[in-house]
Amino acid sequence: MKQTVLAILVGACAGLLAFVAAVNNSRQKQAAPRVPRPDASPSLDFQYFPGEPKGYAGYTDHVSMQQTVNDDLVEHDADWQFSRIGFAKGFLRTVLRRADRSPSAPGIFRMEGVSEDDAMTIEWIARMQTDGVDNASPSTSNLKSIVDGMASDIASTGPRRSTFGSRAGVDGREGLERDEISAERLRELTKLMRDAERRGASRAAHARIVPRESRG
């Protein structure tokens, strides 16, 4: 009799535990937060700066821009470097082509519905073209020449691993990427760059050009 009662109690406890576990699992599923979709910016402006510095000012600004872009890249991993430079290459190429063909002097390129990732990249491009100046005014064309050269370099030698000053024997700081990468990995990164380049070009191609004299 005692064994029968004990068996009934054990079975009841097991059933209760299973029921509680099922209820907890159901509550966890209901309470689990949904993965948010990337936010989209309703409107994002990119400032276009015409012209390109010449002479001594052009030389110093070119070097300054190289250092600014290089030293920012080394703070990030390889995927970040290749995707940022790729996007910037396609974006700036399209911006300059559209600016040259524009009947009025472009002031800004206004974009709608920009994803969070693309917005961060465009803001990075805008920051590079102003932070990299030295003796001259900001120049979108100057930044494009730096980005094009950087894209070619990292596609053949891999991500940036050291600061600009380190390569000149002035600054010994190392970047986030320190190890050599395989040829297969470099091909993957180069593909990532090309994909980002197409995305950047498309984003600039669909932007609305606002003339310099009209910012509304």
The string of pLDDT tens digits covering residues 130-144 is: 998 888 899 999 999
Residue 61 sits in the same domain as residue 150: yes
pLDDT at 8 over 90: no
- Per cent of the chain over pLDDT 70 is 73
pLDDT at 172: 54
Taking only the tens place, the pLDDT of each residue in 104-163 is 778 999 999 999 999 999 999 999 999 988 888 999 999 999 999 999 999 999 999 888
**Is residue 216 in a domain?**
no
User: Do residues 49 and 140 touch, judged by C-beta distance below 8 A?
Assistant: yes
How many structural domains does the chain have? 2
- 9 and 103, same domain (yes or no): no
pLDDT of residue 102: 84
Whether residue 158 sits in one domain with residue 107: yes
Average pLDDT over residues 35-40: 45
**pTM: predicted TM-score of the whole model, two decimal places:** 0.76
- Tell whether 25 and 49 lie within a shared domain: no
The pLDDT of 191-211, averaged and rounded, is: 97
pLDDT per residue as tens digits for the range 54-93: 999 889 999 999 999 999 999 999 999 999 999 999 999 9
In a domain, 72, yes or no: yes
Provide the residue range defining the domain that includes 28: 1-32
127 and 205 both lie in a single domain: yes
Question: What pLDDT sits at residue 192?
Answer: 98
Q: Judge if 24 and 46 occupy the same domain.
A: no
Q: Do 2 and 47 lie in a common domain? A: no
Judge if 21 and 122 occupy the same domain: no
- Considering only 25-29, 85-89, 189-193, which range has the smallest mean pLDDT? 25-29
**Quick one: which of 70, 53, 71 has its CA closest to 62?**
53
Is there a single domain that holds both residue 28 and residue 44?
Answer: no
